[in-house]
Structure 1
Amino acid sequence: MKVLESERLLLKPLSFNELLHIKENDINNIEHIIDVEAISDSVKLAIKKKLEKMKNISEDTQSWYTYWLIINKENQIGVGFIGFKGLLIENGYLEVGYSISPNYRRQRLMTEALETLIRWAHGFRECRGIIAKVSKGNIGSTKILNNCNFRVNSSTEQENNYILNFRRVK
């Protein structure tokens, strides 16, 4: 699977086995050092769900299901995770999820990571855009999505549903 690059970051898609090691707190078997603060309980739960989905898919579709490790080029440390929640849903959209270590917040790194993943997904003609669900109290994620030109598409009492539509030249 291809590593994506931006000015300050590398996004490396994690294999099934690498995700398994992270879930089991065995991060010494991962190629890159990962900031332990990046592996929160919610990240472990999300990885557990990803592993369930990835058990039954072919290797050529894994980049749509896995987490990509966000690597800070400056120190080569994994600082967070970003990824889609599977293949395109029937209307041509992908749902994105992400998390970053508290030690690396407020540096626009997650905005840069999301912009990088957006560029990659935009390269697939069948992808019409990206959606994200964010708890209403999650100010950081709301700011990241706003920075990346997402807009609120719908809301519930607990969360806002964001959308980024790709403009396609016919």
Structure 2
Amino acid sequence: MLLRLLVDTLVVAGLALLCLGYLAYERGLDDERRQIEDLRTNVRLIEQQVKLQAALGHAQCNEDGFPVTVNPAWFGTAIPRNPMLNDGRHPWVEVAFGPELTAEHPHLLVASRPELAGFWYNPRTGTVRARVPQMVSDEHTLEVYNYVNGCNLSKLFVHDLEPVTAD
């Protein structure tokens, strides 16, 4: 009788732990989904502000008509951040220069080092991209990068910069 009670208690405790583990896993997925959606929204907010500042003439623009940099003052106190890189170690926005000015994406898509900014801005095209952290797999990392940036890259590691082409 006592042995049966002990076994039943262990089974119930095991099931409870299994349920708690599943709930924690789902909560983690919900947090990741929310961060991904927030990041996608923030990319669009920065892009919209770049276009607005260029149209209003409130920013110093280059010969292509885009602001030469992204100014955090444009956003007041609601500066869009990269919630997937919220460790405080990454710079906010990297402005493309040199060979990257002909690219649609940063050379490094993954913020694998603290000196890589959460966002990348190409002043020649007005393009804003968000870098993402390394996820559980390269496939998932690429999927998240493509989703938040509204693109369809086929590979995560771009060794040759893809030039911007005129339509």
**TM (normalized to structure 2)?**
0.28
Higher strand share: 1
State the structure with more CA Rg.
2
Question: Which of the pair is proportionally richer in helix?
Answer: 2
